[in-house]
Amino acid sequence: MEAIAFADIYRNSLGLLKKDMPVIVKGTIDRTEKGIKLLLREISGIDSMASKNGLKCEISIKYPIVDSLTLENIREALSGSSGECPLYLKMDLPDSEVFIATGFQIDPSSMLIGRLEGILGKGAVRITS
């Protein structure tokens, strides 16, 4: 989906807009015959939003289930990242998806997300509200 940031929003967020840097955006959907676009109202960095209420972190693990070394690497990455954001695991199985509430609260910094995506692959970590 195409996202459009008007000049003032773009200018205020320029420092956040870097290749492969996750950001949180808020906006409205514009649906026309040419397609769907997201008109941005706000762009925030993950680091600045992590402490705000309502965010959750979801880590996707694809089937076949990862080996014990991968799980250990995930545990190590998460061990120094306590915070206020609830952590969920999403297991993608052949016939279903399983969501697991881990009970852990983390700080989903861009460094942590990069580390987890280095272990599990790009797009494996989602921050949602």
- Say if pTM beats, i.e. exceeds, 0.75: no
Give the model confidence (pLDDT) of 37-79 as tens digits: 889 988 877 655 555 557 889 999 887 767 888 889 999 999 9
Q: How far is CA 26 from CA 45, 81, 97, 103, in A?
A: 12, 26, 27, 27
Give the model confidence (pLDDT) of 102-122 as tens digits: 888 998 888 999 999 999 999
